A and B are shown apart, each in its own frame.
Chain A
Amino acid sequence: DAKTTQPPSMDCAEGRAANLPCNHSTISGNEYVYWYRQIHSQGPQYIIHGLKNNETNEMASLIITEDRKSSTLILPHATLRDTAVYYCIVRVDGSSNTGKLIFGQGTTLQVKP
Chain B
Amino acid sequence: KAGVTQTPRYLIKTRGQQVTLSCSPISGHRSVSWYQQTPGQGLQFLFEYFSETQRNKGNFPGRFSGRQFSNSRSEMNVSTLELGDSALYLCASSLIGLPNTGELFFGEGSRLTVL
Report which A residues bind B (CB closer than 8 A). Answer: 32, 34, 36, 38, 42-46, 49, 87, 93, 95-106
Contact = CB atoms under 8 A, between A and B. Distances in A.
A106 B37 CA distance: 13
Given A95-B96, A96-B55, A101 B104 contact: yes
B102 interface: yes
B42 A100 contact: no
A34 B49 CA distance: 21
B31 A98 contact: yes
Nearest to B49: A99
Contacts of B48: 97-100
A98 B31 CA distance: 8
B87 interface: no
A44 B106 contact: yes
A103 B42 CA distance: 8
Interface in B93-115: 93-94, 96-97, 100-109
B58 to A, nearest CB: 8
B45 A42 contact: no
B102 A98 contact: yes
A99 B90 contact: no
Interface in B13-53: 31-33, 35, 42-45, 48-50
A48 to B, nearest CB: 10
Contacts of B50: 98-99
B4 A49 contact: no
A100 B45 contact: yes
Contacts of A100: 33, 45, 48, 56, 58
A84 B112 CA distance: 22
A93 B102 contact: yes
Contact of B42 (A42, A99, A105): A105
B92 interface: yes
Nearest to B103: A46
Contacts of B102: 32, 34, 49, 93, 98
Contacts of A99: 31-33, 48-50, 56, 92-94, 104
